[in-house]
Structure 1
């Protein structure tokens, strides 16, 4: 008995058409993500488009996103890209309702855009297009099948012709496709389940790849132990050492890279007499040292959270560059252009990586292997410079050149070069607009002045006189320092608290207010709180 064919003039409802477009793209993206997870997850169509959007986003908009969304800026961007794709998917379904070719054409256009995004990345090659092609092929096939099940005559006819061409097809195989409300529900549900399985499998594969399974040897030159801080006495202030899971992350990667230590290499070249490359195991065998260093992001606003103190373990960059034998190292215009695995670049003055400040090519953080989110297998950590000038994550190359010859990623976008971290004091407690009881009010926070050292922190209540706060332990000149002060007899009402750092040779923190662009924020933090 033959399967009844679909009438040629069957009209597909717009809800079914929209759902067909949406589900076809969902399963396409899931399969693309799954294929990418087996190869290189950065080649996932959505991630590739997201990375391309990041590269083309104006600097002021990036700053706005970081300031408003913080470390969730990537999630917001990725969600926005995904939402845009899903809206186009619905449009494709509605177009297919009028003409199947138009809906399929929109899916192909989306495929071409994603493919261009993949090819525009530094790792881009024809071979890296496989996830995008897989997503496109599966998406188009799913659209045709779902539209046929929804009652579209053109889609049904196309499937009938394909079925008739299959080997060992019976004479009835090309006669028709069953279309009904029940068939569409079953087909849609099946597509959704397969999409969910594909996405879940891709995530599980990526999670498995994220497991490090590496144990670092002890440092030959260990850092002094971090002392007990004021955070044990003053609730709410920042811990003296930032746990790895709480350490801020600001970079251009939409997903955490999963580089393999066994295949990773660092190339050191450029204006050197002895260019060479070194493997992860050879790097470890050079002998590790530790430094307690606080690093800060240039995007950190006054009072912002993008700073962290940690114990870093790695190899001295001075030792690595000495082996390369830099030509004319005294030249002031020399830089090291460090390159990440995906082509992202950072400019660091050669002197900052070869002087006695203790810059590291770090492989460990707080006694553990460097987390993937913070640069595994290796990253630069340069005391005294903002992250955009000396903290390249997932580093694969260090090229000695001049600032004039090569411009780094952020330099091309108008940010400064060789920008020193500006000294500042941050207020952690009381919280902004927090309500506290009248009487004694405990204030506290953290301050940094990398390269100079924090001498003391002073506070002022309601523009009153500046008063010295109690200081926490002094780790070193490149590490931040906690402070606290109990303000007596605070009466009910609204109050304003200010804090400033005194650093180095009794220098005062700048009072000049400046935004983060182009060389870091400055100014005195003011915290408004309420007393009941």
Structure 2
């Protein structure tokens, strides 16, 4: 069998293994999928600079690229296993066993995992072993035995005289004797279709291999598709649509008429749900049914609290406009968005639990095991920190944390905005660490005052004359007091500011510029209500947020 055939058989076996594992994971839970578990493990083990590079390079597609990379590696390994199995099937079985061991280790080391969670990987590996063995056997053919009345390869042709046959026999006998052959014929040359012990030789059947591989691919694809359907997305989406949002006890202030300057290309004051950025560690979006959701508040409290989703909806709800920002956002980046959130105020539930003296951190945990640490004093200082259930007038989108997530104005998301939150441990920073802290990021993460230019775009070609420069600036829970723009390093000019309902949102700004022909550099900086003006010192996002002035270059003709 040629090497390509073995590789093809290995690929098909690997596909069947992953397809069946996905099917079983659809019943057991998407987090039990070996691909997801290995991908999550890769995320956890990847150094922070590599994560930063992935986010900068691929943006919100970083998870798709990672899963694709995992699948490519698995495909290469499966092909190698198939090539080795040509020599001996035991090599293929051993390779698939190692394959499965890696998947099992990744699955069972996830938070709150159990031994049963390894079942999809084990069953998938067994299916892969059977498929590989079957394909190799299917591609190997054995010649049919010749009919009893057919002449043997060395027989004389019909009609030959017995004398000739006798002479030939005598000559062969003499030759054998001269060569020292034994009377049993051990020195006689065997026909090409015979092996020692009378075994028939095997051959390669390309057609049977290809049809077998095609069947395996169909089975793998069907199993994976069915597994996705069984994964619960449809049920959770249906439950989400069925949620009736209560009216807020504390509605948000009306958005001022002048909050949106309505300039073409400028980020709108409210970011649509489908346009809101998404940065998290979840390779597969957790599917959490509101009927099964529970929130537990415990740790350094006097009275541990546990709530169902129905309990949460019965509590007084607060509505607030809050801009969220990711710490991975580069200067001028797009990982910021503003939305109207609805939820229960976090301080209300913490007071119900009774936070003990000395506690300074809330270690919140997502349904997929992600954790973040939020400073207690920030949550309790009067800002609209929420266990949010809705976003822009509808239940949270599943990818943005349905059924419940955290929203805390003024803190980067990695220390505050836990999606799919199910557990809050009241603790101390010197006793617990959240996910990103041991990976080199700051423990507290206050948002830095920032601004960016949305209009015109970097590298734009403009006509000489009056040009509008516009963008957004943010300093959550402090508020933006001024925005300045300069051209080609000249004097700073004050931009016109849009109205805002609170200091927790970003603020639009604009400036008219009389553009002259040539290449020009535009820069922007913001000053918040504390009097702090953005520094021009450039710093990367790690460990506590990027700094510097956003600058773009345009061409005017």
TM > 0.5 fold call: yes
- Map of 2:313 onto structure 1: 284
Structure 2 CA distance, aligned partners of 1:86 and 1:209?
32
- Structure 2 spans left out of the alignment, 5+ residues: 143-199
Say whether the 8 Å CA contact 1:459–1:498 is kept in structure 2. Answer: yes
How much has 1:195 moved relative to structure 2?
A: 1.5
Match of 2:255 among 226, 230, 252: 226
Cα pair 1:226 1:241 within 8 Å, conserved: no
1:518 aligned partner: 543
- Distance (Å, rounded) in 1 between the aligned partners of 2:141 and 2:510: 71
Pick from 449, 452, 460 the counterpart of residue 423 of structure 1.
449
- Of residues 212-221 and 226-235 in structure 1, the stretch that sits farther from structure 2 once superposed is 226-235
Counterpart for residue 472 of structure 2: 446
Structure 2 counterparts to residues 452-471 of structure 1, below 5 A: 452-471=478-497
Structure 2: how far apart are the matches of 1:491 and 1:210?
56
Report Cα offsets for 1:383-431 as digits up to 9, x if no partner: 1111111111111111111111111111111211222100011111211
In structure 1, which of residues 163, 183, 194 is the aligned counterpart of residue 219 of structure 2?
194
- 1:61 maps to 50
- Provide the TM-score with structure 1 as the length reference: 0.90
Cα separation, 2, equivalents of 1:451 and 1:314: 18
Q: 1:158-237 to 2 correspondence within 5 Å?
A: 180-206=205-231, 207-211=233-237, 212-213=240-241, 214-227=243-256, 233-237=262-266
Say if 2:54 is the partner of 1:76.
no
Ranges in structure 1 where 5+ consecutive residues have no aligned partner: 1-11, 154-174
Asked if 1:393 is matched to 2:419, the reply is: yes
Contact (CA 8 Å) 2:401, 2:420: kept in 1 or not? yes
Deviations along 1:438-463, one digit per CA (max 9) or x if unpaired, are: 22222111100112111221111111
Give me the TM-score of the superposition, normalised by structure 2: 0.86
**Deviations for 1:286-340, whole angstroms, at most 9, x for unmatched residues?**
1211111011111111111111111111001010001001122xx4x61111111
SS state at 2:277 partner: coil
Aligned to 1:350: 376
2:32 is matched with which residue? 43
Runs of 4+ in 1 over 4 A off after TM superposition: 175-179, 227-232
SS in 1 for 2:8: helix
Task: Report which of the two structures shows the higher radius of gyration computed on alpha carbons.
Answer: 2
Q: Is the 8 A contact 2:360 2:429 kept in 1?
A: yes
For 1:364, the equivalent position in structure 2 comes to 390
User: Once structures 1 and 2 are overlaid, which stretch shifts more, 104-113 or 219-228?
Assistant: 219-228
Q: Report if the CA contact (8 A) 1:123-1:342 is conserved.
A: no
Query: Is the 1:230–1:483 Cα contact (8 Å) retained in structure 2?
Result: no
- CA distance in structure 2 between the partners assigned to 1:91 and 1:208 by the alignment: 37
Say which SS state the counterpart of residue 103 (structure 1) adopts. Answer: helix
Match of 2:440 among 403, 414, 432: 414
Comparing 507-516 with 107-116, which one deviates more in the overlay? 507-516
Quote the Cα distance in structure 2 between the aligned partners of 1:304 and 1:152: 61
From the superposition, tell whether residues 510 and 106 of structure 1 become closer, same or farther in structure 2 (CA, over 3 Å). Answer: same
* 2:552 counterpart of 1:527: yes
> How many angstroms apart in 2 are the aligned matches of 1:441 and 1:33?
54
Is residue 267 from structure 1 mapped to residue 256 from structure 2 by the alignment?
no
**SS at structure 2 position matched to 1:218:** coil
1:507 partner SS: coil
The alignment partner of 2:363 has SS state of: strand
Provide the rounded CA distance (Å) in 2 between the counterparts of 1:270 and 1:144. Answer: 53
Q: 2:78 aligns with which of 72, 77, 89?
A: 89
* Distance verdict in 2 for CA 1:344–1:254, change over 3 Å: same
1:475-527 Cα offsets, whole Å, 9 max, x none, are 21010011122211x22222110011122044322222211111111111111
CA distance, structure 1, for counterparts of residue 393 and residue 259 of structure 2? 22
Contact 2:26 2:229 in 1 (8 A): no
Deviation at 1:253, TM superposition (A): 0.7
Change (3 A) 1:178 1:203: farther
- Structure 1 residue 203: deviation in Å? 2.9
1:122 to 111, 115, 118: 111
Q: Which residue of 1 aligns with 2:511?
A: 485
Q: Distance in 2 between matches of 1:382 and 1:420?
A: 10
Question: Whole-Å Cα distance in 2 between the matches of residues 253 and 507 of structure 1?
Answer: 36
For residues 92-144 of structure 1, give each alpha carbon's deviation from its aligned partner in whole angstroms, at most 9, with x where no partner exists.
11111122111221111010000000011003211111111121111111111
**Alignment partner, residue 7 of structure 1:** none
- The match for 1:325 is 354
Q: How many pairs were matched up?
A: 496
Q: 1:342 to 1:505 in 2, by over 3 A?
A: closer
Cα distance in 2 between the residues matched to 1:41 and 1:96 = 31
RMSD: 1.9
Aligned partner (choices 8, 16, 32) of residue 27 of structure 1: 16
1:336 aligns with 2:362: yes
Distance in 1 of aligned mates of 2:488 and 2:71: 47
Cα pair distance change 1:441/1:152, threshold 3 Å: farther
Q: Quickly say closer, same or farther: Cα 1:24–1:222, change in 2 above 3 A.
A: same
Q: Distance in 2 between matches of 1:527 and 1:309?
A: 23
